[in-house]
């Protein structure tokens, strides 16, 4: 009996210690401004005083769970610079093209995969990890992604393993606008269990409308519009909060880019117009590309980064462009009648409103991605009120 009692007591102490670690980790102060930076183009001049945590993107897991496609020496340099300015760094695992094997990894070798990530966090002196699985058990993911009805349940188990191995380090998730799909591919009604092991849910409240739809519309509406997709920053945060995530653990996604398209008319009365058939090239950074799936076609995305929008005089209404601001969705758009071209995007005004919204709800903000800002750091500066 004595031996049994001691064993039970020891197990109880271990369990309580693990629980305390989880509660402590999730209860730590959440950064107010998360900034994604990308492996393929680091910003030339990072304004460290205006960000709280940077997320280095991406480490893509292969079918065996090995983290690939990122520059390890460059990551080490970023960590050194960030830590010199008291800014934390996470590595983002996954991404749109890097989510292909999440489902199979988490169903067959979840513990091993978690250990790989934990090892990387310690190896590169990171302050946390960002998991960007796009998307658990969802038809909206890349067509060659593995997928299972058990994805969300497996995700939670995986995150619990991560938390045990990372202790108080930051765990953040990049998410869609709706809670993770359940086993019937519908948004889960309760994800409170995730909130117990995850610090922040970075809700990607952009790419709401785009060339995958029949008409143009705002890239990142603050509020629902009269047409287009019925989704917005407000609607997304409401859904996640209703599913059990406190607002303080939610982060509003802000886009430092927009989308451009050719339209069928040169007289536009709103930002909701029909696309011309062929997607035109966006800015100089937009190249012909395809998803890494067999037979996937190449095309331009139509993406225009803020630095290009600003330098072309689009937001200023120059060079044939006429700029509008939709007060329903609180987003700008610009039209070039001669070219029959529209750009839907975010500017200083719309991001100030998003930061104000996040602040009023006790939420944080994150941005994708820092190199897309102009040389004056206009958009990053527009988000600073959330830190006040």
pLDDT tens for 96-132 read 999 999 999 999 999 999 999 999 999 999 999 999 9
**For the whole model, what pTM was predicted?**
0.93
- In sequence order, what DSSP letters do the residues of 257-285 get, joined into one string? EEEEEEBS-S--SSS--BBPSSPPP-STT
Q: Where are the domains of the chain?
A: 22-256+347-387
Report the range of poorest mean pLDDT among 66-70, 175-179, 277-281: 277-281
Q: Is the pLDDT of residue 326 over 50?
A: yes
Distance between CA atoms of residues 162 and 157, nearest Å:
9
Contacts of residue 189, defined as CB under 8 A and 6 or more positions apart, other chains included, come to 179, 182, 243
Q: Is the pLDDT of residue 5 over 60?
A: no
**Pick from 122, 195, 204, 119: which is nearest to 159 by CA?**
195
Q: Which residue has the tokens 């407000």?
A: 234
Q: Which CATH architecture has domain 22-256+347-387?
A: Alpha-Beta Barrel (3.20)
Distance between CA atoms of residues 161 and 109, nearest Å:
12
Q: What is the pLDDT of residue 25?
A: 56
Element (H, E) at 304: strand 303-305
State pLDDT tens for residues 24-59: 455 457 899 999 999 999 999 999 999 999 999 999
CA 60 to chain centre: 15
CA atoms within 13 A on the CB side of 55: 27
Distance between CA atoms of residues 332 and 343, nearest Å:
9
Q: Is the pLDDT of residue 8 over 80?
A: no
Q: Is the pLDDT of residue 6 over 70?
A: no
Contact 239, 189 (CB under 8 A): no
Convert 328-346 to b/e letters by CB count within 10 Å (16 or more is b): ebbbbbbbbeeebbbbbbb
Find the mean pLDDT for residues 173-191.
Answer: 98
Q: What is the pLDDT of residue 279?
A: 95
Confidence category of residue 1, pLDDT binned at 50, 70, 90: very low
Q: What is the pLDDT of residue 265?
A: 84
Q: What is the pLDDT of residue 156?
A: 99
Contact 315, 332 (CB under 8 A): yes
Q: What is the pLDDT of residue 380?
A: 99
Find the mean pLDDT for residues 315-323.
Answer: 98
Torsion of CA 129, 134, 135, 141, to 10 degrees: -170
Confidence category of residue 12, pLDDT binned at 50, 70, 90: very low
Which percentage of the chain shows pLDDT scores above 70? 93
Which percentage of the chain shows pLDDT scores above 90? 89
Q: Is the pLDDT of residue 193 over 90?
A: yes
3-state secondary structure of 235: helix
**Rg of the chain over CA atoms, in angstroms?**
22
State pLDDT tens for residues 284-312: 999 999 999 999 999 999 999 999 999 99
Find the mean pLDDT for residues 198-206.
Answer: 99
Q: Is the pLDDT of residue 4 over 80?
A: no
Strands 33-38 and 67-68: unpaired
Q: In what order do the strands lie in the sheet with 331-336?
A: 303-305, 257-262, 341-344, 331-336, 322-326
Distance between CA atoms of residues 36 and 29, nearest Å:
19
3-state secondary structure of 243: coil
Q: The dihedral of CA 105, 170, 250, 82: what is its sign?
A: negative
Q: What is the pLDDT of residue 26?
A: 58
State pLDDT tens for residues 215-248: 999 999 999 999 989 899 999 999 999 999 999 9
Distance between CA atoms of residues 176 and 173, nearest Å:
10
Neighbouring-strand partners of residue 177: none
């Amino acid at each position: 009996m004595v031996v049994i009692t001691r064993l039970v007591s020891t197990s109880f102490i271990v369990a309580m210690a693990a629980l305390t670690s989880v509660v402590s980790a999730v209860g730590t102060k959440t950064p107010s401004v998360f900034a994604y930076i990308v492996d393929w183009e680091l910003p030339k001049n990072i304004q460290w005083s205006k960000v709280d945590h940077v997320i280095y993107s991406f480490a893509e897991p292969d079918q065996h769970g090995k983290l690939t496609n990122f520059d390890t020496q460059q990551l080490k340099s970023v960590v050194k610079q960030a830590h010199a300015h008291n800014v934390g760094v996470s590595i983002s695992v996954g991404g749109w093209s890097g989510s292909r094997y999440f489902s199979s990894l988490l169903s067959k070798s979840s513990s091993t995969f978690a250990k790989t990530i934990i090892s990387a966090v310690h190896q590169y002196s990171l302050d946390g990890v960002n998991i960007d699985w796009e998307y658990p058990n969802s038809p909206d993911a890349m067509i060659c992604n593995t997928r299972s009805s058990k994805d969300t349940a497996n995700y939670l188990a995986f995150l619990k393993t991560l938390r045990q191995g990372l202790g108080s380090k930051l765990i953040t998730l990049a998410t869609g606008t709706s809670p993770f799909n359940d086993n019937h591919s519908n948004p889960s009604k309760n994800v409170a269990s995730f909130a117990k092991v995850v610090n922040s849910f970075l809700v990607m409240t952009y790419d709401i409308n785009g060339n995958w739809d029949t008409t143009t519309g705002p890239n990142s509406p603050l509020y629902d519009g009269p047409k287009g997709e019925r989704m917005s920053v407000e609607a997304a945060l409401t859904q996640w909060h209703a599913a059990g995530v406190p607002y303080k653990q939610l982060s509003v996604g802000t886009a430092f880019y927009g989308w451009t398209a050719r339209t069928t008319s040169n007289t536009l009365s709103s930002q909701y117009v029909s696309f011309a058939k062929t997607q035109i090239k966006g800015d100089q950074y937009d190249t012909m590309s395809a998803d890494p799936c067999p037979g996937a076609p190449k095309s331009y995305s139509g993406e225009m980064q803020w630095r290009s929008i600003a330098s072309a005089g689009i937001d200023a209404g120059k060079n044939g462009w006429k700029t509008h601001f939709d007060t329903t969705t609180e987003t700008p758009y610009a039209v070039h009648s001669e070219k029959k071209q529209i750009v839907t995007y975010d500017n200083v005004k719309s991001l100030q409103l998003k930061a104000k919204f996040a602040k009023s709800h006790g939420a944080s903000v994150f941005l994708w991605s820092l190199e897309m800002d102009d040389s004056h750091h206009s958009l990053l500066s527009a988000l600073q009120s959330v830190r006040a």
